[in-house]
Amino acid sequence: MTNEDLLKQVTAKAQLWLSDSYDTDTQQQVQKMLAADDKTELIESFYKDLEFGTGGLRGIMGAGSNRMNIYTVGAATQGLANYLKEAFNDLNQIKVVVGHDVRNNSRLFAETVANIFSANGIKVYLFEGPRPTPEVSYAIRHLGCQSGVNITASHNPKEYNGYKAYWDDGAQVISPHDVNIIDYVNRISSVDEIKFKGNPELIETIGDKIDAEYIEEIHTLSLSPEVDARQHDLKIVYTPIHGTGRYMLPRSISRWGFDNIIHVPEQDVMSGDFPTVDSPNPENPSAMAMAIKKAEEVDADIVLASDPDADRIGVVIKNTKGKYALLNGNQIQIIFLYYLMVRNAELGKIKGDEYIVKTIVTTETIRKIADKQNIKMFDCYTGFKWIAMVMREMEGKGRYLGGGEESYGFLPEVFVRDKDSVSSIPLMCEIAAWAKDKGMTMNDMLIEIYKTYGYSKELGISVVRKGKSGAEEIVAMMKNYRENPMKEIAGSKVITIKDFQNLEQKDILTGDITKLEMPTTSNVLQYFTQDGTKVSIRPSGTEPKIKFYIEVHDTLDSAENYDAKNEWAQAKLDLIAKDLGIA
């Protein structure tokens, strides 16, 4: 398609948004784009429809078919409502939960969703204000609902918003419901098909009661209450980074007995503008800078953060030089799962049916810990819906200890089916207290894990490519990696290639090809080398980027060699990034 043809297509599409079916403000925004000399915004807003994918919607807010607004949100909800009425046609009353985060327009979108569901005869439990994403999952299960929607764009920049759809188990939808919902959403061909006028009698506001019940259930996860009591004055700096964790996390931490929670007042302000950070992502050092400064002022034991919808977490501890340093997502998973496996064993709670879950791009060090502890480990695709699928399949067959992914998400309980900072953060406080009770710092504990189970260091690199041309470039990059596979990485021969798009594993040394046992295909490519290096490549399903996950492995013979080992590993990671052409 030529640029001229594309412009004609988007112009015709945009002109449909000038009808009286759309509100005045939307019409004015579209008219402004049509009149502008630079047609970039017009093209980006209308060159395609914002796709309702397997996780829902996510996009930049604004007018247009490729933007988050009440009409794209409305079409998604009408399609979901239509599908729910078919899937649960044996129920007298279908029920859903609707929640939202602090982002601009989140309340508007949540109320729009609630109105459309109720207009379709569906009972709605609408949270009174911003709540963590995992609490929406909890409420779906707790209230016996068939579905739920949370309006959030997680840790994305402020111009984004999103729409997460959940099923009756409190997990994000998977097959067959995901593709069926997409089909029903795609059937909505006109804004006039969307029932915007709600039925107030079917909308019930929820809040404090669910909050209290959720926090009480989370407290049942504590494995060391006596340690928590002894270390009650552990110095904990916590920041919600302007998000929904503002009220729930301090309450949850306090319920575990910790009474020395130190706030970052500027970031306690709940705001969709995220005024103190460029991006509200706790995995970015810049987002944690204010909390680290506060920690330095008070000599904190640990620094913790949640992202805007309070599902992901950030953790900062003192390193061997006494400086505060951000743990990466893999280290967070290692610490959580090590504690849960070892502490359960200490308490005599390991009966033989326990299991943990990680994603395929998360460090293989976790596998080594699980093997030595005789705990079954499952590998699944990136995204908590896949962890939740394993949990669903294992119900009645085994006891879930915990599961997580390198992207700073962890879930230590079964009464929620999404990553959960409201439970993970007090658990991490308990781990810090447990280490301190043994005369160790968190850094000492991490080094001890590496000495016992093997050292690893990881690096995640995201290459951002925005817009239509960026999406095409990402497709071309994946095609090139498949058609021209790497033969060696940083001087070590590639011995195994796993391609989850065709579910094949190739042994390079023998040429043997075996089938990968996964529930479906996924656009992920992995390389494994002779020296234990692992490289995973996948396009993001929610953001305009392609992600590279690199990990290197070695032994660690002593704590004194830890810093030197880190320097060696970082140099190797940098070399691998150069080999991949992304340094």
Phi/psi of residue 487, nearest 5 degrees? -95, -30
Phi/psi of residue 324, nearest 5 degrees? -75, 130
Amino acid identity of residue 432, one-letter, is A
State how far the Cα of 255 lies from the Cα of 249, in Å rounded to an integer: 10
Please enumerate in sequence order all residues whose Cβ is within 8 A of that of 411, keeping only pairs 6 or more positions apart, or say none: 134, 384, 387, 402, 403, 404, 417, 418, 419, 420, 423, 424
Q: Which of 195, 150, 163, 139 lies closest to 59, judged by CA?
A: 163
Please enumerate in sequence order all residues whose Cβ is within 8 A of that of 50, keeping only pairs 6 or more positions apart, or say none: 57, 59, 65, 66, 67, 68, 72
State how far the Cα of 447 lies from the Cα of 241, in Å rounded to an integer: 29
State how far the Cα of 352 lies from the Cα of 375, in Å rounded to an integer: 7
H or E segment and range at residue 431: helix 421-437
> CB neighbours (10 Å) of residue 238?
26
Residue 151: both structure tokens together: 């309006």
Please enumerate in sequence order all residues whose Cβ is within 8 A of that of 91, keeping only pairs 6 or more positions apart, or say none: 146
**H/E/C letters for each residue in 312-364?**
EEEEEEECCCCCEEECCHHHHHHHHHHHHHHHHHHCCCCCCCEEEEEECCCCC
CA-based radius of gyration for the chain: 24
Residue 553: both structure tokens together: 């492995």
* Secondary structure of residue 226 in the 3-state scheme: helix
Amino acid identity of residue 403, one-letter, is G
Q: How far is CA 547 from the centre of its chain?
A: 14
Residue 218 contacts residue 138 (beta carbons within 8 Å): no
State how far the Cα of 202 lies from the Cα of 154, in Å rounded to an integer: 28
State how far the Cα of 323 lies from the Cα of 327, in Å rounded to an integer: 12
Q: How many CA atoms lie within 13 A of 239 on its CB side?
A: 27
Tell me if the bond preceding 176 is cis, omega within 30° of 0: yes
Length of the chain measured in residues: 583
Angle at alpha carbon of residue 430, lines to 428 and 431, rounded to 5°? 65
Residue 180: both structure tokens together: 């069926």
Q: Which of 432, 431, 406, 429 lies closest to 419, judged by CA?
A: 406
Residues tagged active-site: 154
- Strand 399-405 with 409-411, pairing: antiparallel
- Strand 354-359 with 376-380, pairing: parallel
